[in-house]
A = this chain, B = another copy of it.
Amino acid sequence: MTGILANLSGALASGRVEIVDLTHRLTPDFPVMVLPPEFGQCAPFRKTEVSAYDHRGPAWRWNEITMNEHTGTHFDAPSHWITGRDVPDGATDSIPVRNFVGPVVVIDFTAEAAADEDALLEVAHIQAWEERHGRVPADCWVFLRTDWSKRQGAAYLNLREDGAHSPGPSPDAIRFLVEKRDIRGFGTETVGTDAGQAGHLDPPYPAHATLHGAGRYGLQCMCDLDRLPATGAVLLAAPLKIENGSGSPLRVLALVEKEG
């Protein structure tokens, strides 16, 4: 074994590099996005027992599982959105696998999200972050930490008569990240990469429109982003290899190195 992976294995064994799980449990009651009734809906997770050490299979248990590609903690492929329909290698089974492992930075937006549930990340917030932590590297995941994953029940989707209310990026901010910083992808704790009221922005759903049109990826419904450092973690986020999939539930893990 040459150096880099031997060092990684040693650091994992010693605990110097820790693995952090950013994934919600897949259960039938985890909230899914709710669309206007004329549209196809996102199915929640369901599980049916096939056997459980019984007459249907004496020595084994296993289940059948059903969900949407966008149920629970999940990955958005470029061809999920109409802007990305003609992006090369834009589905879960064609994205180059090198994109499934790489650096991630975390922007702490918790104060803004606590003060205003419709708070939009602006370019000025990113620039303030860069003054403290350095420039957002190219080909890097950017996560928007809002602590939204700590909300329970109805407060998570936060639906009112006029739709969902939750934070997300402004059109300018996501364009800045894609065009000026050349990020690999953008991830959130909310049910989508866009704010709850993002249908009223220009363009509507700017995170989806801009990221996927440029062949970039999304991650959402993550938890425990407060366990990540602002810079220096490595993300492991590999979707299922669904044939021409538009996205996928997945296990999102991060490698975090301890100081010293």
Q: Which residues of B sit under 8 angstroms from A19, Cβ to Cβ?
A: 97-98, 100-101
Q: Is the CB of B16 within 8 A of A40?
A: no
Specify which of B6, B205, B242, B247 is in contact with A232 (CB 8 Å cutoff).
B6
For the complex, is A13 an interface residue (Cβ under 8 Å from B)?
yes
Q: Which of A199-248 contact B (CB under 8 A)?
A: 204-205, 208-209, 231-234, 236, 238-243, 245-247
For the complex, is A250 an interface residue (Cβ under 8 Å from B)?
yes
Number of interface residues of A (CB under 8 A): 93
Specify which of B8, B65, B205, B245 is in contact with A67 (CB 8 Å cutoff).
B65
Q: Is the CB of A253 within 8 A of B11?
A: no
Bound together, the chains give a CA A17 to CA B55 distance in angstroms of 48
Question: Nearest residue in B to A93 (C-beta to C-beta)?
Answer: B25
A200 smallest CB distance to B (angstroms):
14
How many copies, total? Answer: 2
For the complex, is A80 an interface residue (Cβ under 8 Å from B)?
yes
Specify which of B13, B21, B73 is in contact with A139 (CB 8 Å cutoff).
B13
Q: Which of A42-84 contact B (CB under 8 A)?
A: 42-43, 45, 47, 50-51, 53, 55-70, 72-73, 79-83
Q: Which residues of B sit under 8 angstroms from A115, Cβ to Cβ?
A: none
Q: Which residues of B sit under 8 angstroms from A172, Cβ to Cβ?
A: none
Bound together, the chains give a CA A192 to CA B39 distance in angstroms of 40
Bound together, the chains give a CA A102 to CA B14 distance in angstroms of 12
